[in-house]
Amino acid sequence: MEALKNTQAIIDVRELHTRYGAAVVHQNVSLTVRRGEIFALVGGSGCGKSTLLRAIIMLVRPVSGSIKVFGQEIIGLSDEDALPLRRRYGVMFERGALFSSLTVAENVGMVLREHTQLSPRLIDEAAALKIALAGLPADAGAKYPSELSGGMRKRAALARALALDPELLFLDEPTAGLDPLSASGIDELVQNLRDALGLTIMMVTHDLDLLWHVADRVAVLDGGHILGVGSMIELSQSEHPLIREYFYGPRGRAAREQPWKKK
């Protein structure tokens, strides 16, 4: 059972091609994300990480190829057919994308109100629970996004992404723009969530600490191609010059030496 679980592909991308107008973003990208793993996409700015994520969450339509999520082909899916799938997704956007006219608790509760038949009382309680799970103090629920600091806004966005108890969580740059303390808080949070809720997590990040600490497998993207996929240890032994550059730059080395103290 356990072995079967671990090999089950939650996301299966095959020979994906995407384009923005004339600019080719992806060429022949294939990758697999397995159940229960924390999968990270890395690469230089503009290499198409976020576009790949957006293609999987059905915001960008690829030119050709196939993307299967929970075994279902999502390319060409109508909005109506996509709805049951979208309920199993949680997405945390890079800049939070919280609804600025709602409080944090309303932001979280809105999703529940929209998609479940729970009573208002239980929705409020569930929203408070998600806010606590995301590591925010209880009084943050009554605040508006504009009253929160950057780190708290990320956590609030995470609370909203968790609202429907998704099986699959997408994080776009979860630690970007955070101070090191908040960032390591997010590291821990991501790992706790996976362990406690059995989530599958796919994230886009530049944060090498986050990669070393929590990512099970990492795919390196460059110029629309995947250069390599594997655990950080495997990738750090790769011979590919671009991968070496990525992980053995001055920042890469510092981040690599840390985890051995921690783990």
Partner 1 sequence: MTTQQIAQLLIEGNPASPTPAFSVRCTGPWTVQGIGPLEQQLETQIWPAATDLIIDASDISALDTTGAWLLHRTVRALEQLGKNIRIDGLRPEFSILLNLIATRTAHAKYLPPPKAGVLDRIGRRAWNRMGYLFNMLAFAGEAAVVLLRSLMRPHRLRWRPILHNLQTSGVEAMPITGLLSFLMGVVIAYQGADQLQRFGANIFIVDLVGLAMLRELSPLLTAIIIAGRSGSAYAAQIGTMKITEEIDALRTVGVGPHELLVLPKMLALIIALPLLTVFADVAGIFGGMVMASSRLDVSFDVFLNRLGDAVSLSSFLVGIVKAPVFAAIIALTGCYQGFQVSDSTDSVGRQTTVSVVQSIFVVILADALFSIVFNWLNL
List interacting residues with partner 1 (CB under 8 A).
87, 99-101, 105, 112, 115-119, 122, 124-133, 137-139, 141-142, 144-146, 162, 164-165, 195-198
CB-nearer residue toward partner 1: 16 or 158? 158
CA 118 centroid distance within chain: 27
CB-nearer residue toward partner 1: 8 or 30? 8
* Residue 39: C-alpha distances to residues 34, 128, 132, 201, 221 (Å): 8, 28, 25, 6, 13
Give me the least distance between CB of 154 and partner 1, in Å please.
17
CB-nearer residue toward partner 1: 60 or 85? 85
The two structure tokens encoding residue 200: 């599958």
In one-letter notation, the amino acid at residue 170 is: F
Q: Phi and psi (nearest 5°) for 81? A: -70, -25
CB-nearer residue toward partner 1: 23 or 122? 122
What stretch of H or E contains 213? helix 208-214
Give me the least distance between CB of 183 and partner 1, in Å please.
21
The two structure tokens encoding residue 250: 């001055």
DSSP state of 147: G
The two structure tokens encoding residue 2: 């356990």
3-class secondary structure, 152: helix
Give me the least distance between CB of 211 and partner 1, in Å please.
25
Gyration radius of the chain over CA positions: 18
CB-nearer residue toward partner 1: 59 or 142? 142
CB-nearer residue toward partner 1: 62 or 135? 135
In one-letter notation, the amino acid at residue 60 is: V
The two structure tokens encoding residue 178: 């955070």
Give me the least distance between CB of 124 and partner 1, in Å please.
5
